[in-house]
Structure 1
Amino acid sequence: MDLRRSQTHQNARWKSVGLRLQRRDLLFAMSRWPKLFSIVLLALITLGAGVILQISSQNADLLIHRIPPPEGLKDAAATVGLDYEDVALTTGDGLRLAAWYIPSQNGAAIIAQHGYHASRDEMINEAQMLARHGYGVLMFDARAHGYSDGDLITFGLKEIADTRAAIDYLLTRPDVDAGRIGALGNSQGAVTLILATAQYPEIKALVGDSPYAALQDEIATGVKAFTGLSPFPFAPLIQFFAERKAGFTADSVAPIHHIAQIAPRPVFLMQGGADSLIPIDSGRRLYDAAGEPKALWFDPALGHVQFDTARADEYERRVVEFFNAYLLGEGE
Structure 2
Amino acid sequence: MKRWQKIAARVSGSVLVVLFVGLMVVSRSQALDLITHPIGEREAIDQTPADFGLAYEDVSVTTPDGLNLVGWYLPSKNGAAIMAQHGYKGDRRGLLDEAAMLNENGYGVLLTTVRAHDLSDGEVISFGLNEMQDLEAWYQFLLTRSEVDPGRIGILGNSLGGSLVIQYAAQNGNIQATVAHSAFSSLDDTVATSIKYFTGLPAFPFAPAIVLWAEQEVGFDSSEVSAKAWIGGLSPRPVFLLQGGADTAISPESGQLLYDAAGEPKELWYEPELGHVAFYTELPEQFEDRVVGFFDRYLLGD
Letter in 2 for 1:46: V
Which sections of structure 1, spanning at least 5 residues, go unmatched?
Answer: 1-29
Q: Does 1:210 align with 2:203?
A: no
Deviation digits for residues 20-49 of structure 1 (CA, Å, limit 9, x no counterpart)? xxxxxxxxxx98665555555544443333
Equivalents in 2 of 1:147, 1:238: separation in Å? 27
Q: Does 1:239 align with 2:207?
A: no
Paired residue secondary structure (1:54): helix
Give runs of aligned pairs for residues 137-286 of structure 1, distance below 5 A.
137-286=109-258
Picking from 79, 103, 107, the partner of 2:79 is 107
**How big is the shift at 1:67?**
4.3
Between the two proteins, the alignment pairs up a number of residues equal to 301
Paired residue secondary structure (2:17): helix
Q: Is the 8 A contact 2:190 2:254 kept in 1?
A: no
Q: Is the 8 A contact 1:273 1:303 kept in 2?
A: yes
Deviation digits for residues 43-90 of structure 1 (CA, Å, limit 9, x no counterpart)? 444333322221111111011111446433154444444321111012
Equivalents in 1 of 2:71, 2:277: separation in Å? 22
Q: Is the 8 A contact 2:81 2:110 kept in 1?
A: yes
Counterpart for residue 64 of structure 1: 35
Counterpart for residue 50 of structure 1: 21
Letter in 1 for 2:147: D
TM-score relative to the length of structure 2: 0.93
**How big is the shift at 1:111?**
0.1
Greater Cα shift, 303-312 or 270-279: 270-279
Counterpart for residue 121 of structure 1: 93
Equivalents in 1 of 2:210, 2:270: separation in Å? 31
Equivalents in 2 of 1:239, 1:71: separation in Å? 26
**How big is the shift at 1:310?**
0.8
Picking from 255, 267, 271, the partner of 1:299 is 271
Letter in 2 for 1:94: G
Equivalents in 1 of 2:171, 2:116: separation in Å? 22
Equivalents in 2 of 1:32, 1:290: separation in Å? 62
Greater Cα shift, 247-256 or 274-283: 274-283
Equivalents in 2 of 1:53, 1:214: separation in Å? 23
Equivalents in 2 of 1:106, 1:292: separation in Å? 26
Q: Is the 8 A contact 2:58 2:72 kept in 1?
A: yes
Equivalents in 1 of 2:82, 2:117: separation in Å? 20
Paired residue secondary structure (1:73): coil
Which sections of structure 2, spanning at least 5 residues, go unmatched?
Answer: none
Equivalents in 1 of 2:287, 2:137: separation in Å? 27
Counterpart for residue 16 of structure 1: none
Instruction: Give RMSD over aligned pairs.
Output: 1.9
